[in-house]
Amino acid sequence: MKTAITELFGIEHPIIQGGMHYVGFAELAAAVSEAGGLGIITGLTQKTPELLAKEIARCRDMTDKPIGVNLTFLPTFSAPPYPEYIAAIREGGVKIVETAGRSPEQYMPALKAAGIKVIHKCTSVRHSLKAEQIGCDAVSVDGFECGGHPGEDDMPNMILLPRAAEELSIPFVASGGMADGRSLVAALSLGAAGINMGTRFIATKEAPVHENVKKGLVAATELDTRLVMRALRNTERVLTNKGVERLIEIEREKGKALKIDDIMDEVAGVYPKVMIDGDMDAGAWSCGMVVGLIKDVPSVKELVDRTMTEAEQIIRQRLVGFLDGVPQQQRARAVA
Ligand SMILES: Cc1cc2nc3c(=O)[nH]c(=O)nc-3n(C[C@H](O)[C@H](O)[C@H](O)COP(=O)(O)O)c2cc1C
């Protein structure tokens, strides 16, 4: 399958693994890129630019296919040294950066001077248009379903993607709720040129996280995510657990007066506890509604290959079948 995204990034399949804190290490990124998608190392999980340089080098030892690095621009007072992180990316020979959070505008000259292609992740048409205007090469359009930060507009992908298609000139991928070949074909139908998956890639053999996390994702249903931190305008979709229940209770008590300090125990330092120690009740960690579609823990290659096979079957058999007037049995899955 060739799309504007496979051509832009020089990859075989239009599937990207979004940056994920404490998940997007070299092992996962390399596995995704080796499988023909685009694997992304999460820049800020590496505490210093020097450590990021080492992680990039480790990934380079595992694959010579294109890889990317995620740079998340956080709303913090003590900003990480982004120019140094960008230098590590440039010197590591990485040619693709996924930006997220705040606008990457001030860093675009440095990224472009290094010949880096930028895909900015955003949750609205207006931010996507801004990304296009400041010179981003592509956008990852992140709907309300997504794990992580869906923004404050609550716009699901069924509306957001076709709206993005109406307005954008640069290519975009659908992000949030993507799990398989059905998602890929749906995304292509709505105007996207590929998909970005987060949560689905955590439940893979290569994802370097505790087994409890993978088991937890397989056990959870689409009803098990919660939105937290809305009062702080920093809404995050997370998997519910005891820590999250406590957090929601505090949010109820404080209402609009909620301060970040009120919920520090439930949101700060949670990722290593969950992803490394396997403490599933530690607090808030990102997870998408797509968790309801996760039923197994395949290898990354199995996941990517079956996504592409399923997409092809849906297009060639189910969809063309409708046009050809071939009656089809209604099944739970489009392709059994
Ligand atoms: C555990 C986890 C951690 C994440 N961390 C980041 C991050 O550090 N930076 C970022 O830009 N996106 C992050 N995301 C968002 C993903 O890159 C991706 O946009 C999102 O998961 C897509 O939605 P999905 O989970 O429904 O596939 C994270 C998502 C998850 C599930």
Quick: pLDDT tens for 190-247: 999 999 999 999 999 999 999 999 999 999 999 999 999 999 999 999 999 999 999 9
CA of 60 to the centre of ligand 1 (A): 23
Closest to 140 measured CA to CA, from 156, 154, 161: 161
The answer to whether the pTM exceeds 0.95 is yes
Cα of 55 vs its chain's centroid, Å: 19
Q: Residue 326's pLDDT band (boundaries 50, 70, 90)?
A: confident
259 vs 233: CA distance, rounded Å: 11
Q: Does the pLDDT at position 168 exceed 80?
A: yes
Give the mean pLDDT of the chain.
96
Ligand 1 pocket, Cβ-based, cut-off 6 angstroms: 18-21, 23, 42, 70, 72, 100, 121, 142, 145-148, 175-178, 196-200, 285-288, 290
CA of 19 to the centre of ligand 1 (A): 6
pLDDT per position as a tens digit, 6-21: 999 999 999 999 999 9
22 vs 38: CA distance, rounded Å: 18
Q: Whose CA is nearest to atom 6 of ligand 1?
A: 20
1 vs 123: CA distance, rounded Å: 26
Are β-strands 236-239 and 225-228 bridged in parallel, bridged antiparallel, or unpaired? antiparallel
Give φ, ψ of 68 to 5 degrees: -130, 170
Q: Residue 332's pLDDT band (boundaries 50, 70, 90)?
A: very low
CA of 318 to the centre of ligand 1 (A): 31
The predicted structure's pLDDT at residue 330:
55
The predicted structure's pLDDT at residue 336:
43
DSSP H helical ranges for 35-178: 49-62, 82-91, 108-113, 125-133, 157-167
- Please report, as a single letter, which amino acid is at residue 233: R
The predicted structure's pLDDT at residue 328:
67
The predicted structure's pLDDT at residue 79:
87
Classify residue 126 as exposed, middle or buried by CB count within 10 Å of its CB (0-12, 13-18, 19+): exposed
Closest to 237 measured CA to CA, from 282, 273, 280, 288: 288
- Can you say whether the dihedral through the CA atoms of 267, 141, 118, 24 is positive or negative? positive
Reduce the DSSP state of residue 15 to 3 states and report it. strand
171 vs 288: CA distance, rounded Å: 23
